[in-house]
Structure 1
Amino acid sequence: MAKKVLSLVLIATLVLTLAVGCSGGKEEAGLKVAMVTDVGGVNDQSFNQSAWEGLQKAEKELGIKASYAQSNQEGDYEPNLEKLLDAGNDLIWGIGYKMGDAIFEAAKNNPDQKYGIVDFTYGEDTPDNVVCVLFKAEQPSFLVGYIAAKMTETGKVGFVGGIEGAVIDAFDYGFHAGVKYANSDVEVLRQYADSFNDSAKGKTIAKNMFRDGADIVFHAAGGVGDGVIEAAKEEGKYAIGVDRDQNDMAPDNVISSAMKRVGNGMYNIVEELKNGNFPGGQTIVYGLADGAVGIAPTSDKHVPQEILDEVKELEQKIIDGEIEVPYNEATYNEFIDNYIE
């Protein structure tokens, strides 16, 4: 009888130990969230890096496990998504609009897997297991355009774009609008690099702009912008960064940055997922009103306070709808008709 009781006690203890062990292991593991970079790479000091910093913040503050897969070419998107799926991630992000097709196919083939994509939306066709995250990039671009027009001494500024499309159009036309709103006489030189990672080309384009009389150049071109900033250093001119505060790349030359806090938006979605509220099938749009875009904190190193005060007023007017910032050619033409004499 004693042996029987002892056996039952041992069995009960073993079951309890296993249950606690399994529960503890699951809690320790937490959510696994990963991202596939665009070709610019995770250390592009711009778009991809901002995204990765957002997941690192989520790892630190929300207790998730973050990881990424590097894409060196567009052909890497699909195998990288497969690799992260096989690794058992709860949420997989595609960074950039160029991953639109790859994310859509992956989501269709794996309906139980959650995906997110930045800078792209499928609109009404968004799968239920995908969340699309957009940013009003035209808004901070307008603000740095205003700064550029107020600070130029030559009456010429430049814009260097990566690859033409809806996403970069927002930076382009927002910047143009900000320049013209500040001073309609300022000329804007514009050129696209047809790349997001050719820094040498960015450097050549920017140097040509500086030699043509521009003294401030804004880039929205990922890794191409590294070359733009390097050109500003070599020529003793000014550059305006993008996506994250890029002043650390050239403290004497980067006067501001049009920040698109990609990582903040991703962090918010991860937090929603952790709370059981994944917004699948939706497109979330972040702007000035959400604190997701704006000018860099280091702008006060080079931009006069009176201009920063004016920028603060412009921010509020944009938030209140008094100024509608354009995001493509058609809305830009409307903006000129409505706001510029």
Structure 2
Amino acid sequence: MSQAEKLRVGVIGGGYIGTTVGRQFNTEPRSTVTALADVSADTRQAAGETLYVGDGSQYEDYREMLDAESLDAVLVGTPHTLHHEMVTAALDRNLHAFCDKPLTTDLDEARDLAERAEASEQVLMVGYQRHLNPAFKTARQRWQGEGETLSPDYLSAEITQDWISRFEDTWRTDPDLSGGGNLYDTGSHLIDAVLWTTGLVPEEVSAEMVFADDEGRVDQRAILTVEFADGAHGTIAVHSDAPCVREHVHVWDEEGAVYLEGRQWEERELERIDADSTTVIPFIDRSKQRNKAEAFVDCIESGEEPPATARDALAVTALTEAAYEAARSGERVSVELD
């Protein structure tokens, strides 16, 4: 494939996501990063070197990049509260968009982007990587596969991390940029994993939170009790002052349970617990696992639905926003998906 035939990607935000996923686009034979925008000159320079984008295609203002460069798609890897305006700007210019999670931190904005994406010929994919993870995909077949499936009854999901100390004095602990605390950061992946893997629809939530700031906006511990449609229930917990990363997702149904476990950012492991307490470790085929860039380009070429859609992301934002309201009010809050 010639350079001219490759999908031309503009990166908005030259930090961790911009460079990490940007490198995937450069490694993917069908795409290449051709332009970069970031408000920081130092970040632009460093990201430009990493992504092989010269000074002439580096911009302080992302809008200038969108108007000046011949692009096919954008990668949005900026702080959370900026996502809506940047994705909207891309879609308005008929560009495909890959947006890091969460899609937005505002429910109306999430609805807006879900509706735009569903009415558009452009691909909008959200960076929830559990949708590409073979362990989670295998578990999902138990409740949302073809043919006869089971119905989850209850679940517990927890992630621990040294989040507060690691991100102190960064944009991730600035709620004007992050939208909140860890529940909107690493916790967003956990909420998405629960909803997408099980197919459960959250209806109400109560929550207890410990906040790291006097204004009560940056959660460092969040424990959610969620009631789902059809009577299922469960807890989702995010702890930000632990020394290391551990993730546990346990989902029970009438035939037993599925356990998804992992440490740090390594591959997650899958166990099946049968009703007689027998533990089975099913084979997980990781040989065909796609990365985010590969999946995004596949969707553009084939017209397939993105692994993580704007509608998926809307459900995460709806539950997250309801949880913050519940924690601050002390009341059980309805999750407004429509």
> Normalising by structure 1, what TM-score?
0.39
Q: Higher strand share goes to which structure?
A: 2
State the structure with more CA Rg: 1
Give the number of the structure whose residues are more often helix, by fraction.
1
